[in-house]
Amino acid sequence: MARDEILRQRWDLLVENLSAQFADGEELELDAIIYLVGVQELGQLHRSFKKDEKVNLMHIAICRLLEPYGYYEFDFVDEEGWPHYKVKEQLPPLKAGEQSVLMKEAIVNYFLEREFID
């Protein structure tokens, strides 16, 4: 099976599972899944977040998701428990579709590592 087809199948399964668990079956979009990764990485699961904190959660998620690709490196956790990353390499200019594929691949790999999907 082609790599793109495997990614699509895993992405569909992941969206289905996360949507059932966090959105009463309403299909989660890419940004919502990135946000969930940020909450998971922060580890403060049972609290509400302000608007600026939600943006920071998405930043944490993107850094964590792209860390295995060599774009970011974990730096430290601050006194409030928020992880910080430093840029190792600038992302190349990507078209919107290419960005989406990269993020979906990174998210699928993240959840494969955690054995949330096969």
The DSSP result for 70-114, as a single string, is TSEEEEEE-TTS-EEEEESSPPPP--HHHHHHHHHHHHHHHHHHT
pLDDT band at 47 (very low <50, low <70, confident <90, very high): confident
* pLDDT value, residue 24: 86
Task: Check whether 72 has a pLDDT greater than 90.
Answer: yes
Residue 1 has pLDDT above 80, yes or no: no
Residue with tokens 């990764």, as numbered in its chain: 37
**What is the pTM (predicted TM-score) of this model?**
0.92
